[in-house]
């Protein structure tokens, strides 16, 4: 019992001891307990709600089961009544309505089959019923047909583990319902159309085509060869059922049903070509049947939708194979829009097929970022991969290409060209089709008007303007709301997706085609004959071979040059990879950049040979190299840096990468490096020479920084002056001196075998290297031959001179690389084609156009053969070539069994190019590659590839420009008593001003051993040009070429100075080692 003491309110207890840890623990426990209670109440509430829902569902299921059982009993009763009392419309309609409510393939198959047999037996009565109650039967019969189709596609298990397929009655019912002419004679045409339209809409909506295709795949045996003959009677019935909706929809004026049916056919039939029944039976029947004409224009319209949902649900190889099977090489397009639809469909599908193709390209430019994605790539279906390769081969076949181009030529329009270029672009970017294998591209080469039309459309595309259509008749139709897209691209500005998808494929296709055209034509066929002699060897007009005039080619090259510069801006986006969500178009941009750069290089190479462009044409005002403000070596990627892929945002580097590679290049440095690697000629030659000089000086300083006279790594060699080449070849071999970049000290020995006086402070080495290269390149030694223009190239018969001839060429290449590395000019004129082979990027092969610099007569003979009007067979040529080396005559076959293959009008082009390839490449391939490897051993080829072959010759031998006496005076040093005011020096410069250019070059060669001035002026001459006194005026002037030193006696008379100097420089005497 509790006692009441008058306190009716609870009073809080006061704790004077302060808060304690135990009190805090009790509070936390209390809060946790309250939380747990709330969660438990919530769980209980959910359990009660779930129980109520489950109870309701259970009651519903039980109720439905009871209702179905009741309805099934009614169905059975109706079927029994029909047997006893006969059939009536009310009984049949009620029976079908009950089946619609309760139908299950597992439980009601017998009931449905009974109804099917009933209607089949009483189909004449059905006609009257439908005529009297059209709306009712329009509702019932489509659903009955759908149930019959479901029954066939869901067989029920029988005893013995097998399945019975009660498809006969169900399929017969479908045939009767879908062929109304046999039972709807009392219906009008409008009633028949209404009934069948409702029927087919309902069936298609409920998966009609999917079920029919499933029946074909599962009930028809495998078909191994394409045939229009049905393998079984069931296959024939199913094919007719497949085509009936399309056949009926084609007769309607309203094409809604037809479009819906075509969409389903594309997805459920054409997209299932991986199955042999579809691939080898249904598709050939669709292509050959005359009873059911598949509307190809609708098919290509559905398949040609950009980013079509079909490509997400159906494999592209299956769709493309189906389309190629349906469209014959004899098909005709009624208008340009149909052709555009076909081109767009083929292009979109080829683009989707590329994901199933394996690459034939041996070049691997992937980086670690791509390797990280390999684990997420799913293995591809081998059947689809095989189908994809077959499709690409068909698209690229001679028959398909010829048929397609004939239509494109007849219905050429801007829109047709755009879709055609997309198709070609997809083929060019396909990993299984190489550039030289793209027949569609090379077939355009012979069609000049197509190439010209491409450029017209390409130049007319404008930003913000509507895309061109088949109604476009002039450039005004492209709109004038913005600048041309080529100019936008040249500025490096991003394009909108629609503009990108229009411009890039067309630009890529045009550049690739123009490159192919240029590679098949000689300079004279594009630019006209360069002299009267060449004109006499041709019998036709040169300009007829090329679709553009020289003036148009110049303007085009300027536009494409700017586009390449703009693409470099886009190739290095100013953002990190985390800020980019879509880089799926990297392949498109990368291919566009590759072919644009390729065609610009081609035209620039032509210009280096024929100089048809104005001076300064190739320079770009948008590119500058601030040499004084930044590190020049950053313009060329370092060897320890990973090669960053173009058109890929930069990712953040890890700490290990930063320690290994150093800080990353800035955005501007990467762009400049790309320009120097890809299109260096847009930068002035003087600037590139400074870049090269800075690269060499920086590398040389790092290699020779500790190579003083008595310490650090250094090359010391003793060379006999009488055996200069032999001693150098032995002592400077890679085995003895693997690093030729080190400082070299040379000790020369005279004929007696004694060391010559003097210590090599650089002058003796320069003299040695200069004389060594003159000896190595001397044609009398046999390793090099002279062209008719007195330029040098490797001797094809070098193997007869020395067994280890490749080692000799490697050594000579190293020595030339050492001269470039030490900034030593040597007067060695190399053939243009040989320099081009040295600068080759992917290979050392050069094309037919270079043959003129090797053998002009052979080049003219081959060009005359190309335009020979009579029968070439009468000339008695075959695919062999006669070589005569050192008195030995040998016959080489240009192709296997070439001695038995005559040159005819059909194969003469192959003969011409194989002959040129043999002379320019195969004959001297080993010599050229060994020489190239030798140069690369000292100077990276990437540094030399900043120059063309003419500029490389200037790097080797100096500039072929007039000697600037003012520059020479400002950079001349004087020794002894001489100075700029000395009367002998004053007289010397006065006499020199009166010399002709030839005499000035003779003087320069007399002092420096090279007749050409340095590329960047005499300030770059090392050692500097120097003049010092040398005895009385009775003596002749002498020179020490190793020191660039002129020893000039103190002549009192200007006339005497002139005579003595001329005598010395023209007699070839005067060398003396100081």
Q: For residue 253, is it left (φ>0), alpha (ψ between -120 and 50) or beta?
A: alpha
- 511 is known as an active-site residue: no
**How far is Cα 139 from Cα 143, in angstroms, rounded to an integer?**
7
**How far is Cα 348 from Cα 501, in angstroms, rounded to an integer?**
12
Instruction: Name the active-site residue from 75, 592, 859, 1042.
Output: 1042
pTM for the whole structure? 0.80
Q: Which residues pair with 972 in a beta bridge?
A: 1025
**How far is Cα 294 from Cα 79, in angstroms, rounded to an integer?**
42
Residues whose CB falls within 8 Å of the CB of residue 153, separated by 6 or more in sequence, listed in order: 211, 214, 215
**How far is Cα 1040 from Cα 1060, in angstroms, rounded to an integer?**
17
CB of 198 within 8 A of CB of 138?
Answer: yes
> What values do phi and psi take at 650, rounded to 5?
-75, 135
Compute the Cα dihedral for 693, 695, 701, 703 and give only its sign.
Answer: negative
CB of 302 within 8 A of CB of 265?
Answer: no
CB of 285 within 8 A of CB of 228?
Answer: yes
The four Cα atoms 703, 705, 710, 712 give a dihedral, to 10 degrees, of: -50
CB of 983 within 8 A of CB of 1057?
Answer: no
CA atoms within 13 A on the CB side of 586: 16
CB atoms < 10 A from the CB of 463, how many?
Answer: 18
pLDDT tens readout for residues 57-116: 999 889 888 888 988 888 888 888 888 887 888 888 898 888 888 888 888 888 888 888
Q: List the one residue out of 642, 638, 667 whose CA is nearest residue 654.
A: 642
Q: List the one residue out of 961, 949, 943 whose CA is nearest residue 1011.
A: 961
Residues whose CB falls within 8 Å of the CB of residue 1054, separated by 6 or more in sequence, listed in order: 987, 990, 991
CB of 221 within 8 A of CB of 275?
Answer: no
Q: Concatenated DSSP letters for 1035-1046?
A: SPPEEEGGGTEE
**How far is Cα 841 from Cα 941, in angstroms, rounded to an integer?**
9
Q: Concatenated DSSP letters for 167-235?
A: -HHHHHHHHHHT-GGGT-TTS-HHHHHHHHHHHHHHHHHTTHHHHHHHHHHHHSPP--S--SS-SSHHH
135, exposed or middle or buried, with CB in 10 Å at 0-12, 13-18, 19+? exposed
Q: Concatenated DSSP letters for 911-974?
A: HHHHHHHIIIIITTHHHHHHHHHHHHTTS-HHHHTTS-HHHHHHHHH---S---HHHHHHTEEE
The stretches in the chain having pLDDT less than 70 are: 1-25, 155-166, 180-186, 290-292, 306-308, 329-330, 358-379, 431-437, 466-482, 531-545, 574-584, 626-645, 647-664, 705-712, 756-762, 1068-1074
CB of 237 within 8 A of CB of 175?
Answer: yes
pLDDT tens readout for residues 1022-1057: 788 999 998 778 888 988 877 888 999 988 888 888
Residue with tokens 């799926």: 584
What's the confidence (pLDDT) of residue 794?
Answer: 94
Residues whose CB falls within 8 Å of the CB of residue 1035, separated by 6 or more in sequence, listed in order: 1049
* CA distances for 289 relative to 267, 282, 473, 607, 933, angstroms: 20, 10, 39, 58, 64
């Amino acid at each position: 019992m509790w006692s009441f003491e008058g306190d009716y309110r609870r009073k809080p207890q006061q704790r004077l001891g302060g808060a304690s840890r135990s009190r805090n623990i009790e509070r936390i426990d209390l809060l946790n307990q309250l939380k747990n209670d709330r969660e438990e109440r919530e769980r209980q509430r959910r359990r009660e709600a779930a129980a109520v829902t489950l109870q309701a569902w259970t009651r519903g299921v039980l109720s439905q089961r009871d209702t179905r059982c009741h309805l099934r009993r009614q169905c059975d009763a109706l079927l029994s009544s029909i047997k006893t009392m006969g059939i009536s419309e009310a009984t049949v309609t009620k029976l079908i309505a009950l089946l619609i409510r309760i139908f299950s393939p597992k439980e009601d198959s017998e009931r449905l089959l009974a109804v099917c047999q009933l209607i089949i037996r009483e189909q004449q009565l059905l006609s009257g019923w439908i005529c009297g109650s059209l709306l009712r039967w329009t509702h019932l019969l489509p659903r009955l047909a759908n149930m019959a189709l479901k029954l066939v596609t869901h067989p029920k298990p029988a005893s013995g583990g097998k399945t019975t397929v009660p498809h006969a009655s169900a399929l017969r019912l479908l045939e009767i319902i879908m062929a109304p002419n046999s039972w709807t004679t009392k219906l009008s045409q409008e009633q028949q159309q209404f009934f069948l339209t409702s029927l087919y809409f309902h069936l298609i909506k409920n998966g009609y085509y999917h079920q029919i295709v499933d029946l074909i795949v599962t009930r028809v045996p495998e078909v191994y060869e394409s045939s229009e003959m049905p393998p079984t009677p069931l296959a024939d019935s199913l094919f007719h059922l497949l085509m009936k909706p399309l056949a009926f929809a084609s007769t309607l004026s309203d094409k809604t049903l037809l479009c819906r049916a075509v969409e389903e056919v594309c997805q459920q039939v054409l997209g299932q070509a991986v199955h042999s029944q579809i691939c080898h039976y249904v598709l050939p029947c669709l292509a050959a049947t005359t009873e059911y004409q598949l509307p190809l224009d609708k098919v290509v319209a559905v398949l040609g939708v950009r980013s079509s949902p079909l490509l997400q649900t159906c494999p592209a190889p299956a769709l493309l194979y189906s389309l190629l099977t349906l469209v014959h090489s004899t098909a005709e397009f009624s208008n340009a829009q149909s052709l555009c639809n076909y081109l767009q469909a083929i292009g979109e599908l080829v683009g989707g097929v590329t994901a199933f193709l394996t690459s034939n390209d041996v070049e691997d430019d992937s980086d670690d970022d791509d390797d990280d994605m390999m684990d997420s790539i799913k293995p591809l279906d081998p059947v689809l991969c095989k189908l994809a390769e077959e499709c690409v081969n068909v698209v690229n076949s001679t028959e398909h290409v010829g048929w397609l181009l004939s239509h494109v030529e007849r219905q050429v329009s801007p829109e047709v060209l755009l879709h055609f270029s997309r198709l070609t672009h997809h083929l060019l970017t396909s990993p299984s089709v190489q550039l030289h294998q793209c027949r569609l591209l090379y077939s355009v080469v012979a069609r000049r008007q197509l190439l010209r039309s491409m450029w017209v459309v390409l130049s007319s595309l404008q930003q913000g303007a509507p895309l061109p259509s088949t109604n476009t008749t002039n450039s005004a139709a492209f709109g004038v709301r913005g600048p041309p897209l080529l100019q936008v691209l040249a500025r490096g500005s991003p394009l909108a997706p629609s503009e990108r998808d229009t411009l890039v494929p067309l630009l890529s296709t045009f550049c690739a085609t123009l490159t192919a055209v240029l590679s098949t034509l000689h300079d004279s066929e594009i630019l006209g004959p360069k002299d009267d002699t060449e004109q006499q060897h041709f019998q036709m007009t040169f300009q007829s071979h090329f679709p553009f005039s020289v003036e148009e080619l110049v303007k085009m090259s300027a536009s494409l040059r700017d586009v390449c510069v703009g693409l470099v801006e886009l190739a290095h986006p100013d953002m990190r990879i985390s800020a980019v969500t879509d880089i799926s178009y990297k392949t498109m941009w990368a291919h566009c950049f590759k072919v644009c750069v390729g065609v610009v290089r081609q035209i620039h190479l032509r210009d280096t040979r024929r100089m048809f462009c104005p001076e300064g044409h190739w320079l770009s005002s948008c590119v500058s190299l601030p040499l004084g403000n930044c590190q020049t070596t950053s313009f060329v990627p370092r060897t320890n840096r990973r090669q960053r892929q173009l058109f890929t945002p930069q990712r953040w580097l890890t700490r290990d990468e930063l320690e290994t590679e150093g800080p990353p290049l800035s955005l501007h440095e990467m762009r400049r490096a790309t320009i120097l690697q890809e299109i260096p000629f847009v930068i002035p030659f003087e600037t590139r020479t400074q870049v090269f000089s800075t690269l060499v000086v920086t590398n040389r300083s790092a290699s020779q920084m500790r190579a003083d006279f008595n310490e650090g790594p250094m090359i010391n060699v003793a060379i006999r002056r009488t055996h200069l080449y032999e001693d150098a070849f032995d002592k400077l071999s890679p085995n003895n001196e693997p690093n030729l970049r080190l400082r070299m000290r040379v000790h020369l020995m005279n004929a007696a075998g004694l060391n010559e006086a003097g210590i090599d402070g650089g002058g003796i080495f320069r003299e040695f290297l200069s004389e060594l290269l003159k000896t190595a390149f001397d044609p009398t030694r046999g390793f090099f031959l002279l062209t008719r223009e007195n330029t040098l190239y490797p001797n094809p018969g070098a193997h007869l001179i020395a067994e280890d001839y490749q080692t000799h060429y490697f050594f000579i290449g190293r020595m030339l690389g050492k001269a470039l590395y030490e900034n030593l000019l040597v007067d060695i004129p190399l053939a243009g084609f040989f320099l081009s082979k040295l600068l080759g990027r992917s290979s050392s092969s050069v094309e037919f156009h270079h043959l003129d610099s090797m053998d002009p007569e052979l080049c003219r003979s081959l060009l005359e053969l190309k335009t020979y009007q009579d029968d070439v067979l009468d000339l008695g040529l075959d695919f062999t070539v006669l070589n005569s080396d050192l008195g030995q005559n040998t016959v080489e076959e240009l192709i296997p069994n070439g001695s038995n293959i005559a040159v005819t009008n059909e194969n003469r082009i192959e003969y011409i190019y194989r002959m040129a390839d043999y002379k320019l490449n195969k004959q001297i391939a080993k010599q050229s590659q060994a020489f190239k490897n030798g140069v690369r051993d000292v100077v990276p080829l990437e540094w030399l590839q900043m120059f063309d072959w003419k500029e490389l010759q200037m790097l080797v031998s100096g500039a072929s420009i007039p000697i600037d006496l003012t520059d020479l005076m400002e950079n001349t040093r004087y020794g002894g008593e001489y100075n700029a005011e000395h009367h002998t020096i004053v007289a010397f410069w006065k006499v020199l001003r009166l010399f002709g250019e030839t005499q000035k070059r003779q003087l320069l060669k007399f002092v420096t051993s090279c007749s050409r001035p340095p590329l960047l002026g005499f300030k770059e001459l090392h050692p500097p040009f120097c003049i010092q006194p040398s005895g009385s005026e009775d003596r002749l002037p002498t020179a020490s070429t190793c020191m660039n030193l002129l020893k000039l006696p103190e002549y009192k008379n200007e006339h005497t100075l002139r005579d003595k100097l001329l005598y010395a420089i023209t007699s070839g005497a005067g060398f003396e080692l100081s």
